Chains A and B, each alone.
Chain A
Amino acid sequence: MHAFVADRRRLEFLAYALFIAGVLAMPLFIDAFWLNRIAKYLVYGMLGLAIALSWGYAGILNLGQGLFFGFGAYMAAMSLKLQSYTSLQQGSDKPIPDFMLWNAEPNAPTDLCCINEGSFLWLPFQAQWFGMAMAILAPTLIAYLVGSAIFRLRISGVYVAIITLALVLLTRLLIIDAQPVTNGFNGLTDLGWLTIGGFEFDPYMTQTYYLVAAGMVVVLLATRLLVATRAGLILQSTRDDPNRARYLGYNVAAYQVFFFTVSAAIAGFAGMLYVIAAEFASPTFMDLTFSISMVVWAAVGGRASLLGACIGAILINTIEASVSESEMLQEGWKLIIGFLFVLVVLFMPRGLAGLVNDMLDRIEAMLKPGAARPPATTKTAAATAAEKPGE
C-alpha cells in the first residue's frame, strides 16, 4: 500500500516536471505571434488553477473570479497606460490618459490631478511598481473583505456562487459607468510596456513569454505545496464536512477566507500578467461568460487537480485559437465545448485528471493484481464529492 502511494507521488512529480519543461521549451518550437498567444493561455491556466484551489480543495464555487482578474488587470493597466506614448504626447510634463483629454470639459486644467472629478485616483499609478503591487494587493484585500462577510455568516454552496456572480456583474457596471476614470466600455488600450531596470518587456519578445511562464510555474508549484501543508489538509477537511472540522476546533470561516483570498490573489496576479502580454484591460474581463468559462476549463481539466485544471485551460484555449482562422470552425468549436462540458459533468466529474488517474489505477490493477484497490470505489468517492457542494 505504501509503495502504491509512493509510486503515485512519483508519477505526479513526473507530470509536473514534464509540464513545466514543456512550457519552458515552448520558445524553441513556435514563432513570436504564437508565443504571445500561449503566454496569454498560460495566464488562463493560472485562472483554472485558482478555480481548482477554491472549488476542488475548498468546495467554494466562485462564479465571480473575473472580479479579481479584472481588478488585477485594471490596476496594472493604469500604470502601463501612463507609460504609454499616447499619454505623454499632451504637451504636459505629466502623463495624462488620452481618453481623459478627449472627454475633458473645455476649460478643465490639463493635469492628472484634476482634469476630471476622478482623475486624481490615477496619480499614484505614475509609479509603475504601484500599479503592479496593487494588481495583487487590491484583489487580495477585496477577497478578504468579501470572504469574511460571506463565510462568517456561514453562507455556502450555491449562495456563494450567486453572491460572487452578482458582485462581479455589479463591479463591471460600476466600471462601465465610471467612464471618465475607466474609459467605460472601451477599457484601457494603447498601453506602454512593463519596464524593469531599463528593460522593456515587448509582449512579443521571448523574455516576456518567460516572465509570464515563470510567474505561472511559481504559482503552480507554490499552490501545490500550499495544499500539501497541514493548513491545506484542514481546508480539504472543511470541504468534506465543515461541522466535523468545527467540532475539532477549527475556525472554518478563517480557513475558507484564507484560501478564497489566496485564490483571488492568484487571479489578480494573472490579470497583471495578462495585461503585460495582451496590452489591454477591458470590462469584458468581468463578463459573466468569462468567469463561467474559467469554471469550464477547471471542470474539463479536473476540478480537484491543480495541474489538471491548469492544463485544461491551456488546452481548450489553444484549440480554440487554432480553429479561429475560420469563423465557422470557431462557432463549431464552441458547440463542441458545450457538448464536452455537458458530457464531462455527466460522466467525468473529475475531468481529464480523473480520467488519467482511473487509467493508472487500471494499469496498476493489471500489473499487480490484488495490490491496487478496485477503481470502482474511488469513483464513488468522486461522485459523492461532486454532490457535496450542492447540499
Chain B
Amino acid sequence: MADVIFIGLSLSSILLLIALGLTIIYGAMGVINMAHGELVMIGAYTAVMTGIYLGFNLIAALPVAFLVAGGIGFLMERAVIRHLYGRLLDTLLATWGIAIILKQAIRLEFGLSFLDIHIDGLGTGLQNVAIPAFLNQPWSIGGIEVQSYRTFIILLTVFLALVTWFLMYRTSYGIQVRAIMRNADMAAACGIDVKKVSSLTFAYGSGLAGVAGVMMAGFKTVSPDMGSSLVVDGFLVVVVGGVGSLLGSVASAGFLGQVNGIFATYSNDILARAVVFGVVILIIMWRPQGLFSFKGR
C-alpha cells in the first residue's frame, strides 16, 4: 500500500509542478494559458541544450529554464495577452496559437531548418536527458524502495509551493497580485501598477512551467509535442482545486494524483487517466467553482 501511495504522491507532485504556474496565471489574471504545456516543453529543451552546450546537469539547468520560460512568458504577456484581458475564451484561443508557434519554433530550429542549418538538440526528433548520478540510485525508507529522483521532484515541488505561497501571502508583491485577483479596477484605483504586476505574474508562472519542464526531462523523452497533453492535466488540477486557490491546487493535485496512482496499480495507465477525467467532469458539474474557491457571491 505504501508503494502505491508513493506512486500517487509522485504523480501528484508532477501535476502540482505543472499546475502551480497555471494556478497563478489563471487565478490572478483570468487567462487560460493553453501554451503552458509548451512552456514546460521549453523548460525541457533548456535542460537538453544546457546539457549539450554548457555541460550543465539537470539541477544546474533549473534556474536557466526558469529564466528562459519566464522571459518567453513575459514577452507573451506584453505582445498578446495584455490585449485580451476579460475575454477568457479568447485568451484560450490566442494562447493556443502561441502554443503552435512555440512548438514549430523548436521543430524548425528557430527557422534555421529552412536554411538547412541544424542545431544539435532541437528539431523534430526525440531527446533524452541523463539524470545526475547521485539522483539515480534507489534508496529505501520504511522498508520500501523509492527512486531518489522521484523523491527529489516531490521535495522540489514542496519547496516551490512554499516559495509561491510566501510570495503571494507574505510579500507586498503578493498582496498586489491578490488585490488584482479580486478586483483589477479597484486595485488600479488604489495605485497598483496592474500592468507591471500582471507581466511579472505571468513571467513567474511561466518560469515555474520551465522548472517543471526540466524535471520532466529527467523521466520522459523530450519532444516538441510533449506539452499538449500536459496543459490539460494542469487545467484539470486548477479547475478542480478552485480558481486562484493555491491550497486548492495542492489538494486537488494530491487527490487526482492518488486517484491516478491507485487505478494505475489495479488496472492500467490508460484506464487510470480515463478515471481521472471522469472524476474531474463530475467535480466540475457538482461544484463549477472548484473545491476550494474563495467565498463571495
B-contacting residues of A (Cβ < 8 Å)? 61, 149-150, 153, 155, 157-159, 161-163, 165-167, 169-170, 173-174, 176-177, 288-289, 292, 295-296, 299, 328, 331-332, 334-335, 337-342, 345-346, 349, 386-387, 389-391
Contacts and interface: CB of A to CB of B under 8 A. Distances in A.
> At the interface, is chain B mostly helix, strand, loop or mixed?
helix
Contacts of A163: 281, 284-285
Interface of B: 32, 34, 80, 83-84, 86-94, 96-101, 103-105, 107-108, 113-114, 124, 228-229, 232, 235-236, 239, 268, 270-271, 273-274, 277-278, 280-281, 284-285, 288
Contacts, number: 128
A150 B284 CA distance: 10
B97 A173 contact: no
Contact of B94 (A159, A332, A342): A342
Given A162-B235, A335-B104, A340-B97, 6 more contacts: A163-B281, A169-B232, A177-B274, A338-B100, A345-B90, A389-B89
25 contacts: A61-B89, A155-B285, A157-B89, A163-B284, A163-B285, A169-B232, A170-B281, A173-B274, A292-B96, A296-B97, A299-B93, A331-B104, A331-B107, A337-B97, A338-B99, A338-B100, A341-B93, A341-B100, A342-B80, A345-B93, A346-B83, A387-B86, A387-B87, A389-B89, A390-B88
A341 B96 contact: yes
Instruction: Please name the 3 residue pairs, one residue from A and one from B, whose CB atoms are nearest each other, closest first.
Output: A390-B88, A338-B100, A341-B97
A176 B101 contact: no
Contacts of B94: 341-342, 345-346
Contacts of B268: 177
Contacts of B284: 155, 159, 162-163, 166
A158 B86 CA distance: 12
B270 A338 contact: no
B80 to A, nearest CB: 6
Contacts of A337: 97, 100
Contacts of A340: 97
A96 to B, nearest CB: 25
A62 to B, nearest CB: 11
Contact of A170 (B89, B107, B108, B278): B278
A169 B277 contact: yes
A161 B92 contact: yes
A346 B91 CA distance: 9
Given A173-B271, A288-B228, A158 B32 contact: yes
A165 B108 contact: no
Contacts of B239: 159, 162
A390 B86 CA distance: 7
Given A334-B104, A346-B83, A387-B87, A173 B273 contact: yes
Contact of B87 (A165, A170, A176, A390): A390
Residue of B94, B98, B99 most packed against chain A (CB within 10 A): B94
A167 B277 contact: yes
Contacts of B273: 173
Nearest to A299: B93
